[in-house]
A = this chain, B = another copy of it.
């Protein structure tokens, strides 16, 4: 969506009692099973989703554009109306959101890798043989002891060889180059300032790397660190500023809670299971007019290449949807942030099944919820950025443009 479309929506949106529920099944879109020729969603028995699709309008949402495979960050930003090509979140910040790290304004975060260097300081393995997460945690504790002059250097383990570095202090600036040359046979690069305001921060980052290298000297294969994606918390307009909503988010994974917080949503306790999440939805429903509920398990099953587990997760969500239907929100939207077909074991570029249910839908001819059915939906294949104007319109929360 163009920046001026967002400003237009902020002008046209009005407060209202009408409620919108957005259920995002991460990685929802799939591809046919080679034996049955049916996708995960086509295979699953989904009485509630089929009902919503039949009574509402359907289509296929494109998070970024044709052929482009989104990460989870950009995929979600698009759903909430933030063009992922304009609203970018640094890799360091995404890493921090992913481990629920309590970031403060002004923090500079970087994504770190433990790596292996040889006697000539040349990189021979960028991932240090993928050390265990336990080993990563132990090394991070050692690195946490590095005392830096005038600032704090906070280190948190992520997974295997990956960790998070957060520099905290006054006047830090994330405008820094990566130290990771992304190639073997070269030494780690100096972190260089990309603008004059970042000279001090670059020096601090390099000093931290030097001291980390000294500490790790005897920790082969994890005897060096590489840093990339220096970034700070971006300031995005909130859903409340843009759309006059009082939004809540329910998610079991930290990254999605962090992202929701970044967009000004109130993150409420969603428990640990799909059932927990829908129970939380019912509990907090009265206090909010926009509720985002995130289901991670569809994506995890897809990433694992487990077609049948993804089918079962979809069926579990479908059953849980009964709790949402009983609340009679004015608008219900069910979609994903991208496709994760089990046959690909990865995120993909395929557009994502989308349904919108409200009493003001003009009916189309879709009678069930699936990739194939959505192809015939009245929304066609459309940019995911259009979700929010469609949601607000069907909730009658947008006034007329011009006289």
Chain A interfacial positions (CB closer than 8 Å to B): 4-5, 8, 12, 29, 31-32, 37, 39, 60, 64-74, 84-85, 88-89, 91, 94, 344, 347-350, 360, 362-365, 371-372, 375-376, 378-382, 386, 388-394, 398-403
Q: Which residues of B contact A362 (CB under 8 A)?
A: 29, 31-32, 39, 350, 371
Total identical chains? 2
- A60: chain B residues at CB < 8 Å are 378
Cβ contacts under 8 Å, A69 to chain B: 393, 398-401
Whether the Cβ atoms of A372 and B380 lie closer than 8 Å is no
| Contacting residue for A381 out of B37, B94, B380, B399, CB 8 A | B380
Contact, CB under 8 Å: A401 / B71: yes
Contact B85 A4 (CB under 8 A): yes
- CB-CB under 8 A from A31, the residues of chain B are 360, 362
Contact with A94, one of B365, B378, B392, B403 (Cβ below 8 angstroms): B403
Neighbouring B residues of A72 by C-beta, 8 Å: 403
By the criterion CB–CB under 8 Å, are A401 and B70 in contact? Answer: yes
Q: Can you show 15 pairs from A to B with CB atoms below 8 A apart?
A: A31-B362, A67-B388, A67-B389, A69-B400, A69-B401, A71-B402, A72-B403, A74-B401, A84-B401, A91-B403, A344-B360, A350-B362, A362-B371, A364-B375, A379-B381
Name 19 extra pairs, CB < 8 A, besides A69-B393, A88-B402: A4-B85, A32-B362, A60-B378, A64-B401, A65-B389, A67-B388, A67-B391, A67-B393, A68-B398, A69-B400, A70-B400, A71-B403, A94-B403, A348-B393, A349-B398, A362-B371, A364-B372, A365-B375, A380-B381
Shortest Cβ-Cβ A-B pairs, 4 listed: A67-B389, A67-B393, A71-B402, A74-B402
Residue of B nearest to A400 (CB): B69
| Given A389-B68, A390-B66, residue A372 in contact with residue B363 (CB < 8 A) | yes
A70 to chain B, nearest CB (A): 6
Contacts of A64 in B (CB 8 A): 401
A122 to chain B minimum Cβ distance, whole angstroms, is 24
Q: Which of B73, B378, B390 contacts A403 (CB 8 A)?
A: B73
Q: Which residue of B lies closest to A91 (CB)?
A: B403
CA separation between A229 and B403, bound complex, in Å? 11
The CA-CA distance from A215 to B298 in the complex, in Å, is 71
Min CB gap A372→B, angstroms: 7
Bound-state Cα–Cα, A371 to B57, Å: 13
A371 contacts across to B, CB distance below 8 A: 362
A67 to chain B: which residues have CB within 8 Å? 386, 388-394, 398
The reply to whether B32 and A363 contact each other, CB–CB distance below 8 Å, is yes
CA A71 – CA B5 in complex, angstroms? 17
Docked CA distance A393–B350 (Å)? 9
A290 to chain B, nearest CB (A): 15
Contact A363 B65 (CB under 8 A): no
Q: Chain B nearest CB: distance from A56 CB in Å?
A: 13
With a cutoff of 8 Å between Cβ atoms, the chain B residues found around residue A91 in the complex are 403
> A5 to B383, alpha carbons, bound, how many Å?
15
Q: How far is the CA of A362 from the CA of B28 in the complex (A)?
A: 14
Please measure, in the bound complex, the distance between the C-alpha atom of A118 and the C-alpha atom of B397, giving whole angstroms.
33
